[in-house]
C-alpha cells in the first residue's frame, strides 16, 4: 500500500516497544494499547517533542492509526527526521483482530472506533 514506508505486522510489535498512536482523541478514548504514546496526527508536528522526549536514541517507533493510512504518513515524516519508525500494518483494526489487548481510561469495554 505504502511502498516507501517500512511496515510490520501487529504480531511483530514487542510488548515493551514504543507504540505511537496517531488517531484522534475520540478514537483513543474508545480503546488503545496500554502504554502507547498518543499524539493525534492533526497535532503531530506541534507535539513532535513529546515523542523525542519519550523515545530513546535509536529506539524503533511503531506507528499505528485505525487502519494504517495516517500512520504511514507519520512514519514517512519520522523517517525523514532520522527516526527509526515503522508503520503497523492494518492499524488498530488488525491489533484488535489479532487479540492484542486494548484498554480505556474509564474502564469501559475497549474497542476500535
94 belongs to the catalytic site: no
Q: Which of 13, 20, 51, 65 is catalytic?
A: 65
**Number of C-beta neighbours around residue 77 at 10 A:** 16
Q: How many CA atoms lie within 13 A of 15 on its CB side?
A: 2
Closest CA to 76 of 67, 87, 65: 87
User: Residue 93 burial by CB count (10 A; 0-12/13-18/19+): exposed, middle or buried?
Assistant: middle
Active site residues: 65
Amino acid at each position: 500500500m505504502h511502498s516507501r514506508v517500512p511496515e510490520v505486522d501487529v504480531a511483530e510489535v514487542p510488548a515493551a516497544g514504543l507504540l505511537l498512536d496517531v488517531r484522534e482523541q475520540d478514537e483513543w478514548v474508545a480503546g488503545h494499547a496500554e502504554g502507547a504514546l498518543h499524539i493525534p496526527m492533526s497535532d503531530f508536528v506541534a507535539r513532535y517533542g513529546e515523542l523525542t522526549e519519550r523515545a530513546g536514541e535509536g529506539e524503533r517507533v511503531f506507528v499505528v492509526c485505525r487502519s494504517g493510512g495516517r500512520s504511514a504518513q507519520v512514519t514517512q515524516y519520522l523517517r525523514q527526521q532520522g527516526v527509526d519508525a515503522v508503520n503497523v500494518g492494518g492499524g488498530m483494526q488488525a491489533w484488535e483482530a489479532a487479540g492484542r489487548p486494548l484498554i480505556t481510561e474509564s474502564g469501559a469495554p475497549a474497542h476500535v472506533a
